[in-house]
Amino acid sequence: MKKVTAIYPGSFDPPTNGHLDLIERGSHIFDELVVAILRNPEKSPLFTVGERRRMLEELTAGFKNIRVDTFGGLTVDYAAKVKAGAVLRGIRALSDYEYELQMALMNRKLRPDLETVFMMPAEQYSYLSSRLVREVAKLGGGISGLVPELVERRLREKLDPGRKLKRNSGGT
């Protein structure tokens, strides 16, 4: 049987429990899954690419068929470089669909033999995004249960080593 490698491209700034949920689901259906962090010089991220890579490596260390890498340029070119046959993307709600469809079809135009596979994260993560996690954490709100503990610690260190993020969400 032909082995299928998939890439899971994204910003992962920071990785959330929604990303981890999708990575686990992807690891069950693909022979190999490469979590690919985009090196985007146009964005000013909270975490450096190296920091995000180290977090994701630690978080996925228990999976035998997952590795973490970084890439620049087009996703389709990176997919060709690692001989991936599929791109994994998560769809949380209808609002994601339009942008994801556009990207998937553009990627298909650029490389017709590369399939995009959409998966849904568990419903408790359907409202979760890295952007919201960054915003809530910056403003001192609780983010436990939304990101892995390792990420919560890194966020606390990054944002203000002196300030304690509230342990439980629901606070203001």
Q: Which positions are catalytic? A: 19, 43, 92, 130
Report if residue 101 touches ligand PNS, rule: CB under 6 A.
Answer: no
Q: How would you classify the pairing of strands 86-90 and 5-10?
A: parallel
| Nearest distance from C-beta of residue 110 to ligand PNS, angstroms | 8
78 vs 34: CA distance, rounded Å = 11
Report if residue 33 touches ligand PNS, rule: CB under 6 A.
Answer: no
Q: Between 4 and 103, whose beta carbon lies closer to ligand PNS?
A: 103
- Select the residue interacting with ligand PNS from 7, 9, 30, 56 (CB under 6 A): 9
- Select the residue interacting with ligand PNS from 7, 10, 88, 133 (CB under 6 A): 10
92 vs 100: CA distance, rounded Å = 11
Q: Which two tokens stand for residue 50?
A: 């190296």
76 vs 9: CA distance, rounded Å = 10
154 vs 59: CA distance, rounded Å = 13
User: According to CB under 6 A, which residues from 130 to 169 bind ligand PNS?
Assistant: none
Which residues sit at the interface with ligand PNS, rule CB under 6 A?
A: 9-11, 38, 74-75, 103, 106-107
